[in-house]
Amino acid sequence: MDNSPSQDDPGQPPVPAPVPLTKPELKPQSEPVAAPRPSTAPVADAEMRVSDADRERIAELLRDAYAEGRLDAEEHAERIGAAYAAKTFGDLVPLTRDLPAHRSVSFDKPPLGAQEPASAPTRPLPPARHEAPSVVAIFGGAARKGRWRVGSHLTAFTAFGGVDIDLTDAVFESPEVEISVTAIFGGVEIRVPENVSLLGSGVGIFGGFDVREQTAADPYAPVVRVKGVALFGGCNAKPRRGKKLKEWVRKQLGTE
């Protein structure tokens, strides 16, 4: 006798049909890979490139510190070289960070077309100082700068030290100024206005005597002649860009 349940037995639940096992079809990635875009991030302030004016401003601070005795001759020479070789503001800032006269280098540039602020009223200049016709530095530093009267002859002597002569704000009392230099194991730096003539005839013995000669466009402009000798030392004379002789009167110099 067959006791197996009948397929038509209503007491048994129906067996579900088997579901075919199929794997989903993988679709190939058709989206193209985006090309890398150039970086648009702003350049950091310390990485901004510096101009010649920025280098000259830091060099001027270093000269002041050297004249005040805050830097010795070796430190001054090392930092001056680094200032003129600087490429970014990050290279310039450490050179004056430990000096009281440090002025932070400004990274902000005025927008194009912006009007510059109105300049303050011009104040009368103080009277020019009368100074000795010689500057001497032995195992130290000496400086002559600012508004001072310069005659026809000036002597600079240094031994194991440095002399800084700045004629950019000086009052010329002669149409020709002769500067005699003697540098022994030391250095002499001379700066003149950019609108005067500068001539040189010096000798460097185990040292350097560098005069950046120039001829002024005005034939009546004052003439600065630098001569002398540098023994195991150096002399550097050059015009300072952006500084012009302000109180040069032809009548005062006897050319009219």
Q: Give the pLDDT confidence of 188-242 residue by residue, as tens digits.
A: 999 999 889 999 989 999 989 999 999 988 888 899 999 999 999 999 999 988 7
Examine the pLDDT at 36 and tell me if it is beyond 70: no
Q: What pTM was estimated for this model as a whole?
A: 0.52
pLDDT of 171:
87
Query: 67 or 165: whose pLDDT is higher?
Result: 165
Q: Which two tokens stand for residue 180?
A: 């005699």
Task: Tell whether the torsion through CA atoms of 165, 56, 183 and 198 is positive or negative.
Answer: negative
**Looking at beta carbons, which pairs linking 140-147 to residues 24 or more positions away fall under 8 Å?**
140/69, 141/66, 141/67, 141/68, 141/69, 141/73, 142/67, 143/63, 143/66, 143/67, 145/67, 145/169, 147/171
Query: 234 or 120: whose pLDDT is higher?
Result: 234
Identify which of 86, 93, 81 has the alpha carbon closest to the alpha carbon of residue 49.
86
pLDDT of 249:
45
Distance between CA atoms of residues 220 and 202, nearest Å = 25
Distance between CA atoms of residues 39 and 43, nearest Å = 10
Highest mean pLDDT among 45-54, 70-79, 123-132, 140-149: 140-149
